[in-house]
């Protein structure tokens, strides 16, 4: 017999998470996602599916108060998460239990059967109140067979290789100074990020839009994530200075052989090409650490497709 219940106790949610999480991605880690939730004051809301009194699946959600909706546990930052079930037949059952105003972005599904199951489920529900489709892609780079940045460039076509070299040249000519793990530079990273995106329009009524660095909760979340580095992931930072002036910084997470480019802030007005220079640094740094993959997260931002390979993601939403 199949039954379900809602769990909101944080300690019990942690036990459920650790029972079902595959622990393959940074976003599968309880402590990483918890820091995001606590910083934003999101409330845990786990949908638990049972069969014959045994847990067979969970939908780990959190309630986002200001938007009055439900997201993956971890909030807007969560991405590339899969459905945590014992078998794919449980996925439509879990989705039928979603509370009103559930918005799940960046879903990773590699099973065609699971995709068809979800499509069949959505087709039986009122439209457009229930929706499922392709989300913005995420971008990764498999570096397991790459030996150096020049080796990476050699695998590209001539046009793209020329484009990248042209973008790197203005920075390389200025003999930049590169340093690692100067975490005091984080506040400057946030300043650059705010400056660069301050003109971006955010639809506060849309559950899909995120106010990013405009919300001080994001800065707090990153401080907590840096503080907990070493628990089961490592945080790394790269800073570039030119003529003694900070040109930009990146904050990186490393877990399970993957190099996650979490956030960056650059003075692009004064140092054109600095973004491309950081891409080169990220690839070189990941290779020097002996990692297998680079993940620059979801959204193309008008440049990622030139450097990385896209991965399909999906979204699901329900409003009564």
> Coil, strand, or helix at residue 315?
strand
Q: What string of pLDDT tens digits covers the 320 residues of the chain?
A: 899 999 999 999 999 999 999 999 999 999 999 999 999 999 999 999 999 999 999 999 999 998 899 999 999 888 999 999 999 999 999 999 999 999 999 999 999 999 999 999 999 987 778 999 999 999 999 999 999 999 999 999 999 999 999 999 999 999 999 999 999 999 999 999 988 776 666 666 677 677 678 889 999 999 999 999 998 999 999 999 999 999 999 999 999 999 999 999 999 999 999 999 999 999 999 999 999 999 999 999 889 999 999 999 999 999 98
Taking the C-alpha atoms of residue 191 and residue 194, their distance in angstroms, rounded to an integer, is: 5
Residues 160-217: tens digit of each pLDDT = 999 999 999 999 999 999 999 999 999 999 999 988 776 666 666 677 677 678 889 9
Helix intervals (H) in the chain: 10-20, 30-40, 90-96, 112-123, 149-154, 158-172, 186-197, 216-227, 274-288
Q: How far apart are CA 194 and CA 204, in angstroms?
A: 17
Backbone angles phi, psi at 123, to 5 degrees: -65, -20
Residue for token pair 């052989």: 257
Report the predicted TM-score, pTM, of the whole model to 2 decimal places. 0.95
CA distance 31 to 312: 26
How distant, in Å, are the alpha carbons of 36, 86, 136, 262 from that of 13? 15, 18, 29, 25
pLDDT in tens, 269-284: 999 999 999 999 999 9
How far apart are alpha carbons 253 and 233 in whole angstroms?
7
How far is 29 from 21, CA to CA, in rounded Å?
8
Question: Starting from the edge strand earliest in sequence, which strands make up the sheet with 234-242, in order?
Answer: 177-180, 234-242, 245-255, 258-266, 293-298, 138-142, 309-311
* Domains of the chain and any CATH numbers: 2-137+313-318 (3.40.630), 139-298 (3.40.630.30)
Half-sphere exposure of 148 (CA within 13 A, CB side): 3
């Amino acid at each position: 017999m199949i039954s379900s219940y809602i769990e909101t106790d944080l300690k019990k949610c942690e036990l459920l998470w650790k029972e079902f999480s595959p622990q393959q991605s940074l976003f599968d880690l309880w402590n990483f996602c918890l820091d995001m939730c606590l910083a934003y004051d999101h409330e845990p809301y786990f949908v638990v599916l049972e069969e014959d009194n045994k847990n067979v699946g969970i939908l780990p959600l959190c309630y986002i108060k200001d938007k009055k909706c439900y997201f993956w546990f971890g909030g807007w930052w969560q991405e590339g998460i899969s459905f945590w079930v014992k078998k794919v037949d449980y996925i439509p059952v879990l989705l039928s239990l979603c509370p009103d105003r559930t918005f799940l972005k960046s879903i990773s599904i590699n099973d065609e059967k699971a995709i068809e199951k979800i499509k069949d489920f959505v087709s039986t529900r009122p439209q457009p109140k229930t929706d499922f489709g392709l989300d913005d892609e995420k971008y990764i780079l498999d570096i397991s067979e790459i030996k150096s940045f020049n080796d990476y460039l050699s695998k590209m076509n001539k046009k793209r290789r020329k484009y990248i070299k042209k973008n790197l040249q203005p920075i390389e000519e200025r003999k930049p100074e590169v340093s690692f793990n100067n975490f005091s530079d984080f506040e400057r990273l946030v300043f650059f990020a705010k400056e660069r995106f301050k003109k971006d329009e955010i639809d506060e009524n849309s559950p899909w839009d995120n106010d990013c660095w405009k919300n001080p909760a994001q800065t707090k979340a990153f401080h907590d994530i840096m503080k907990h580095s070493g628990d089961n992931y490592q945080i790394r930072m790269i800073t570039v200075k030119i003529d003694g002036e900070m040109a930009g910084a990146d904050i990186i997470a490393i877990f399970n052989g993957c190099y996650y480019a979490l956030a960056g802030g650059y003075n692009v007005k004064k140092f054109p090409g600095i973004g491309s220079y950081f891409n080169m640094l990220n690839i070189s740094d990941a290779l020097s650490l002996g990692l297998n993959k680079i993940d620059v997260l979801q959204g193309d931002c008008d440049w990622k497709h030139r450097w990385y390979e896209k991965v399909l993601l999906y979204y699901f939403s329900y409003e009564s």
